[in-house]
Amino acid sequence: MTQNDRLEAIFREHPGEWLPMPDLAREIRAYAVHSRVADLRRRGMQIESRSTTQPGTRQRHSFYLWAP
């Protein structure tokens, strides 16, 4: 199973849920989550992204959501 296939399976198991990028990276065993999401978008999946910044820090957190 490819990284794209694993990522797609995760989104299909969690429709409508915002999933943190570090969790996705760990599950698909890749840090290029953004690139894999781009691949899935080219396959036709509607995947949203958002990022937040931790108050008082410069630490950013990225999340992805698939809403079928």
pLDDT digits (tens, 9 = 90+) for 23-61: 999 999 998 999 999 999 999 999 999 999 878 888 889
Domain of residue 36, residue span: 3-66
- Total structural domains within the chain: 1
| Structure confidence at residue 59 (pLDDT) | 85
pLDDT bin (cut points 50, 70, 90) of residue 15 is very high
Strand order, beta sheet including 47-53 = 19-20, 60-66, 47-53
Q: Write out the two tokens for 32.
A: 């290029």
| Structure confidence at residue 55 (pLDDT) | 82
The residue type at 59: Q
Q: Write out the two tokens for 55.
A: 């108050």
The span from the CA of 28 to the CA of 36, in Å, is: 10
